[in-house]
Structure 1
Amino acid sequence: MLTSKERSALKQLAQTRKPVFQIGKEGLTPTILIQIKDYLKKNELGKVSVLNTAFEQCDQIISALENEAIEVVQKVGRVLTIYQKNPNLTRGIELPL
């Protein structure tokens, strides 16, 4: 669970980033979930755009991501900012204490 200071720092870092993944009419498939996990192993922070035609609602996608130990930092409209800490990353994101 992220503290409010950590969440604020991650929001600030994610502000200039564009969504990397789009979830459409197929919903959150296992393939997309694997791609999201691989991306977060390398980058720790990313954005997911949920299209209007998505099979699942944003809340269902958020709970599915949280079941995979992926933190949802914020939800703005249909764009989710996600984070997963990778301790093996040499130049990872430094969160405030």
Structure 2
Amino acid sequence: MLTGKQKRYLRSLAHHLDPIFQVGKGGVNDHIIRHINEAIETRELIKVTVLNNCMEDRDEVAQQLADGAKAELVQVIGKIVVLYKESREHKTIELPV
């Protein structure tokens, strides 16, 4: 579980990132979860866009992505979801205490 200070720090790092995945009308499925798991292991912090044609609520989509990837939900702002998971092999982000 992330503290408020850690979430603020991660949001500041995520500000300059571009979204690397999109969730569309297919919603959240095993395929996108697998790709997010691979990407988050390498990058630790990623952004995902929820498209207009997605029939599910963006907050539900964000929670499904976080649960599926076993990642922390940092932020949902507009149509953008920010996820964080500490990497086992490629650790680059040092969280404040």
Supply the RMSD in Å over aligned alpha carbons.
Answer: 1.2
TM-score normalised by the chain length of structure 2: 0.91
Structure-1 separation of matches of 2:78 and 2:2:
21
> Residues 1-97 of structure 1: matches in 2 within 5 Å?
1-68=1-68, 69-89=70-90, 91-97=91-97
Shift, 1:58, TM fit: 1.0
Shift, 1:92, TM fit: 1.8
Match of 2:93, SS state, is coil
Count of aligned pairs between the two proteins? 96
Structure-2 separation of matches of 1:55 and 1:29:
13
Structure-2 separation of matches of 1:48 and 1:66:
11
TM-score normalised by the chain length of structure 1: 0.91
Gap regions ≥5 residues in structure 1: none
Gap regions ≥5 residues in structure 2: none
